[in-house]
Structure 1
Amino acid sequence: MPIHQPQQRAEARPDRTDVRQAEAALVEHYPRLVRLAYVVLPPALGRHRRVLAAHAAVQRALPVTGVTADAPRVPAQSRRAKAEPGRRAAAGGSRAHAITSGEATADGTTDSSPSGAPYALMRLRVLRSALAYERRPRWWPGRLPVPAALRPSTPVVWGLRLFPRAGGADELALDRALSEVPGEVRAAFALHLLEGLDESGVRALLAEAKVSEPAAAVRRAARLGGPDRAAARASLRSGEFDPCTVQTRPSDLLRRRHRTRAVALAAVLCVVAGGLAVAVDDQVRGPERSRAAEPPADPALDPAKLARTAPERWADTSRIDFSAWPARGGRTDDTELLGRALRVWAQPPKTVKVSASPGTVTVPPAQPPRLLFAGEVDGAAVVLFHDAGVRVVRYAEPLSGSGGAALDFARTDDADVTSGAAVVVSRAGQRARFLLAPWIAESTTRDLLAPDTPSRPLDVGPDGVTAAVARPAPAGGCDTWPVLQLRSSERIVEKHAFLITDLGDLTPAHLTYTPKPGRGAPSRQPREATGPEALVAWARTACSLRTLSGSGVRSVNNWAFAEQRLPEGGASADWLCTRADTWRGPGRVLVQFLRPATSPTDPGTVVADREDTALCSRFGQHVLAGTHWKAASGQWYVLAAGSRAVTRIEASGTVKDAASGPTLAVRAPRDATVRLTGALREGGTLTAVH
């Protein structure tokens, strides 16, 4: 909009009117402007200072007198022209027209809508102020970081720490992504999703805000937040990015009191003897001790604010997961160790080895996490945290030697009695130690490849840490597969034993079994894999678990979906669907054919492998599979089997045949190409999984 100079002295008043219009726009859209500033501000400020800086950027954006020459302005001539029709109309109609049309009226009614010039002015000034926190003065060397003294100041709040409400995993991931891009990219992202501007509008506004390369910023912003822009917009409008709805926590009260006393004492000493005051200040407030006394800028990184659960809470709550774990270990009161672990979590040095299971974010905590364990295990100081119900974090540093620290993350949302029963606290060579949940009453170990061998007792220390147990070999021969067999306390569930196994993540995987379909019986449900039939099935499929190592698996179920009588008078064979469910949702399916075997550990044949599928779950209850099989006579067959709802199977291609029921066997060459289709009892068809 062009700027028109007033042509008469009487028009000098519109400058004051402009300020009033800007103030109206600021008051009406204050939460919107503050959220915009909060997103654009650098996350390195910390959540407390970022909240204060966002409010400061909006409040300081109000012009002191008139509108500056380089900002949008409501022209005086335009306001006078718009007011004339109102004067000629009826008294009631003039005000109604001005209000509904959003125009400025003669009596001072202003256009403060988001599309009006006053709001555009405030938005531009807020944007410039927020971007200034990352800009360096022209005379400052480009390779050096900008000192805090040269950045815009932030308000000071004594005695309180402010931070927005914590969001979920999506909001944490978005906040991490925003922290990795410069301010102009965050600004383009916010203007597009929060303000609804198109690309050309964003580029124009960034150019007005003195951004050097607005087009590049818009291109980079388009790649933020993933392809689902609606989800990114919803995350950006959540409480995680709302600095107007904040939580408050006190700063360290004792430390504040000590500071006050120290200041008073220093003042007295200055009056009595200036030289002595300098000596005392050098001794008491030296650089190292001063830094140690400073509380963390973010309350989430303060070891004094760590959440701790009462020891017996697990027996008196309906939520049996990691939130019910008490803090255990011999160093739960070691604030130096806990503070170090939190600081490394917030900003891991390059010497720290960081690992995370798939789908787990590694951003710093948004609020004080829950302490699960702090102690010494296998020559290392280990700390375990549970953060916001969505992940477990393990920090380990060597007690001696030159080895570096390690930081591991694992997703744990919606954990339960079994999936929240243990965490790997230490791995040394081919052995591991677990920290068991407080509700575990009995712990043993067994070998899945020895189903007839009874389980052996496992020693557990008073802090819940087990003795070292063997881990499944990641490569080479598969001669043994160690698992833990645990039993829950009768205080929460009676006679409940279950199996877990180490698949390379912080949390072990829960193993279950679904029996074969019964004649006329309803569909079976997964059950614990501790019975003889389940152990025999797992003995033949355990080695296939190697393909799931390190993939963030929560549970693995063996579903015996069909039993088939083999041709030429052979014995029966079983069809199993081994489904691995991950913490992040998607699953992986291995369909295995178990031919008659002389050894209980003869591995099955994998005939299908499918990732990111609902097959063999409660959302994919129908399955059909096939394989080539050679009879004792040397004749080759195509075998097929379906789940209990399959009533007919047809084969087409090199050979054509059909059979009623859930199984089919037809002679076919070894290299025959056959397409299998099944008919379902309730209608519809099903193709074989590959």
Structure 2
Amino acid sequence: MESERTPTPPAARAGSVFLRHYDRLTRIAYLVGPSGRAPQARLVRAHRDVQRALPWRSGRELTYPRLRRRVLRSAARRRLLPQPVLITWAWHTTVGGSAAHRTVADGLARLAPRARAAYVLVVVEGLTRADAVAAMRDLGWADADAAMTAAAGLVARLRDAHGLSGGHQRALLAEPPADPTVVRLRAPDPLGVRLLRAGRITLVAAALLLVAGLVASLPAGAPAQERPVVMRQAVPAVARVPAGAWTGTSEFTLAAWPSRGAKADDDTLVRAAAAAWQVGGAGDRAVTVTASAGAVTDPPVGAPALLFAGPVDGTTVVVLADSTRVATYTEREGAEPRLTVQPAPEHDEYATSALRLPAGEGKVRYLLAPWAAAPQTRALTGTGWRDLGVRDGLTEAVAIPAHERCWNGPLLRLRSTLVGQGLPYTLGDFGSAALAHLMYIPPGVPGPISRPHELDATGGPAAWSSLGCALADTRGRSPGSVTAWELWRGRLAQGTASLVCVRTAEPGSANQVSAVVVSGAPAVVATASGTRLCSRYAQDVVVAWWTRDTQGRWYHVAAGSHAVRRITVRTAAGTRQGPSPVVSGPFTRRPAGKVTVSATNDTGEPVPVLD
């Protein structure tokens, strides 16, 4: 029993928090600290700020938020005199990054330290704006609101000017170029080598004195069990939300979901699930902890929300969530407990309408948001919707449609008086906890597109039904939304064809764009990632590809969206131009050499080409 265990000493608990979160804390210090210094100085200062945040004495229990607060205060502090960098046997710098990494870094460098802290709290740590402002006010920063406004401005500028969504920015800052614990070693300054050689004896003596001091600081008579080899962390508190609380909020996120399930009040079970997420263990039992779809198994940020706890088809299931991840804990008789961590859905009322729960071999159930109702399901290639029964927010079991290499659903259709003016909207199950909002844009839509249509729009089901094989690689990647934009529909040499631009937005990851030609079996003819193409920010696009007819003859096709007025194609065989589509050929064999495609829209501006 818990009461019979030897309590973990406060120093050990503090040390465990420090060790487990060291990477996250140094990242915070690195991003918030001064950016104009040499790379070595920035790295050293980040580590110093975190190490100095660890109190000398273990007073009250040291939690991650307290430690983060101390790191933020130190990192944002302006120092008149920079501290020296220790000369070592090799210089260390962060790993080089892409242009997108440099864009985010440059934007951060232009912010004041407290604005950088606000940005990090929201984008990197996943706090809400209100929680981030409260955290900065706890630091005594009177300008917390102004800092948050500046941070929000940077998020918007990176999104609008560079096509970097908030999730993409978060993903970039989770990679090695922004991680001060991942470094490159290069040749040091020769003078530094000589100084290091001359001072080696002094450094060794200082190290010996330090070790002696640490040994002397240990209590001589401390019993062995108070010097634990494995440091443990306190189990975090779990937030339980009352049933009607969501009716008083304007934010449709998982944090508004009520705690449901027959075992929502089972403290022992819920604590076991929270412990599995926090420290990878539930009491004295080992727990298999896994992550998928780009999530990490790090402990929850803040108190995780309890969404569900109860039996599901012979398995006891607990669902917890923090601001960016969903953790599903399962216990089954005769099997080791498991915890799976996956990305949480994006913070909008569509994506947060349902979560996927496993329901035995070949089946799933869906846990619905309190604002979602009238659930129905079908396969992607199906024709009729089937009503689903719901009990305590959990739908009846749904069979996963048979498929070989292609994705075939299931699809989940919902309604809500608070979402989409009460009209039905569709979510796609790609195998992760978060479902994807499926949308459609028909060809030839005049004027700017402010928002895609729902999948049920005229032409949507037919267009979507042919995309399953093109979306096979999306399974398990937890996309937040997938939009099928039918750019063009007409006739080619092999018959009737349509050109669909499929845009996939993934939480915490770069977006993915695929151009799919549907003429018989769909074929992906071009792809791109980290782009604004086929979004409301870049609605004009041309796609170019090679194709063959039934007689084996080659054609080059360039087709564009509604506003494209002129396309010019230059091949080794000559130049063709005209309105969309421009077809070059037939050729008995595919011409060698580069093909150049350019295009303009109805205002004469150049149009990007995806090929």
What TM-score, normalized by structure 2, do the two folds share?
0.64
Matched-pair contact (CA < 8 Å) for 1:588–1:611: yes
Structure 1 match to 2:342: 409
Instruction: Determine the C-alpha separation between the residues in 1 that align with 2:252 and 2:260.
Output: 17
1:498 maps to what in 2? 425
Change (3 A) 1:651 1:492: closer
Taking the aligned partners of 2:266 and 2:429, their CA distance within structure 1 comes to 30
Correspondence list, 1:274-673, <5 A: 298=234, 301-302=235-236, 305-349=237-281, 351-387=286-322, 389-398=323-332, 400-412=333-345, 414-450=346-382, 453-461=383-391, 463-472=392-401, 476=404, 478=406, 481-490=408-417, 494-518=421-445, 522-523=448-449, 525-566=451-492, 572-595=496-519, 602-631=520-549, 635-669=553-587, 670-673=589-592
- 1:538 offset after TM fit, Å? 0.7
Verify the 8 A CA contact 1:440 1:486 in the aligned structure 2: no
**What SS does the corresponding residue of 1:575 show, helix, strand or coil?**
strand
The letter for the 2-side match of 1:504 is G
Matched with 1:55 is none
What displacement does 1:508 show? 1.4
Pair 1:441–1:524, CA change in 2 (3 A): same
Work out whether 1:44 is the aligned partner of 2:15. Answer: yes
Report the alpha carbon displacement of residue 427 of structure 1 after superposing the two structures with TM.
4.8
Check 1:434–1:238 CA distance in 2 against 1; reply closer, same or farther (3 A cut): closer
Given that 1:470 and 1:482 are in contact with CA atoms closer than 8 Å, whether structure 2 keeps it comes out as no
Which one-letter code corresponds to 1:586 in the other structure?
A
Instruction: Report SS of the residue matched to 1:44.
Output: helix
Distance 1:521 1:471 in 2: 39
Residues 184-239 of structure 1 deviation map (CA, whole Å, 9 limit, x = unaligned): xxxxxx8999869879x2216xxxxxxxxx657x73x8569998777598459977
After TM superposition, give the deviation of residue 573 of structure 1 in Å.
2.3
Q: Following the alignment from structure 2 to structure 1, what is the Cα–Cα distance between the partners of residues 14 and 314? A: 36
- Specify whether residues 415 and 606 from structure 1 end up closer, same or farther in structure 2 by C-alpha distance, changes over 3 A only: same
| 1:672 Cα deviation from its structure 2 partner | 2.5
Alpha-carbon deviation of 1:522? 4.8
Bigger relative CO (Cα 8 Å, ≥ 6 apart): 2
Q: Percent identity?
A: 28
- Against the structure 1 CA distance between its residues 634 and 237, is the aligned structure 2 distance closer, same or farther, given a 3 Å change threshold? closer
Residue matched to 1:26? none
**8 Å contact kept, 1:445–1:482:** no
Q: Which 5+ residue runs of structure 2 have no aligned equivalent?
A: 1-11, 22-44, 126-131, 141-231
Checking the alignment, whether the CA contact within 8 Å between 2:378 and 2:385 is kept in structure 1 is yes
**Corresponding residue SS for 1:553:** coil
TM-aligned CA deviation for residue 582 of structure 1: 0.7
Contact 1:397 1:406 in 2 (8 A): no
For residues 644-671 of structure 1, give each alpha carbon's deviation from its aligned partner in whole angstroms, at most 9, with x where no partner exists: 2221111212222323222112223241
Bigger-Rg structure (1/2): 1
Aligned mates of 2:77, 2:327 — CA distance in 1: 32
Alignment of 1:56-135 (within 5 A): none
1:202 correspondence with 2:85: yes
- When the two chains are superposed, the root-mean-square deviation of aligned CA atoms in Å is 4.4
Give the 3 Å change call, closer, same or farther, for CA 196–610 of structure 1 in structure 2: farther
Partners of 2:596 and 2:50 in 1: CA distance:
66
Corresponding residue of 1:279: none
* Structure 1 residues 42 and 131: CA distance shift in structure 2, 3 A: farther
Question: CA offset at residue 576 of structure 1?
Answer: 0.6
* SS, match of residue 326 in structure 1: coil
CA separation in 2, counterparts of 1:375 and 1:315?
Answer: 24
Distance in 2, Cα, partners of 1:237 & 1:319: 20
Query: How many Å separate the matches in 1 of 2:64 and 2:358?
Result: 34
In structure 2, relative to structure 1, the CA distance for the partners of 1:192 and 1:436 (3 Å cut) is closer
Aligned-partner residue type, residue 297 of structure 2: T
Aligned residues, how many? 458
User: Whole-Å Cα distance in 2 between the matches of residues 44 and 689 of structure 1?
Assistant: 52
- Cα distance, 1:613 vs structure 2: 2.2
Change beyond 3 A, Cα 1:162–1:689: closer
Partner Cα separation in structure 1 for residue 568 and residue 77 of structure 2: 52
SS at match of 1:685: coil
Residues 473-519 of structure 1, C-alpha deviations (whole Å, 9 max, x = no match):
5x7354x823333222325554321222221221111211011114x
Letter in 2 for 1:557: T
Contact 1:649 / 1:676 at 8 angstroms: preserved in 2?
yes
Instruction: Answer yes or no: is the 8 Å Cα contact 1:166–1:366 preserved in 2.
Output: no
The aligned counterpart of 1:93 is none
CA, structure 1 residues 131+619, in 2 after alignment: closer, same or farther (shift >3 Å)? closer
Amino acid at match of 1:476: E
- Classify the secondary structure of the residue corresponding to 1:541: coil
Mapping for residues 201-240 of structure 1, pairs under 5 Å: 201-203=84-86, 219=92, 222=94, 234=116
Distance 1:521 1:203, change over 3 A: closer
Q: Tell me how far 1:634 sits from its aligned partner.
A: 6.2
Cα distance in structure 1, aligned partners of 2:378 and 2:118: 49
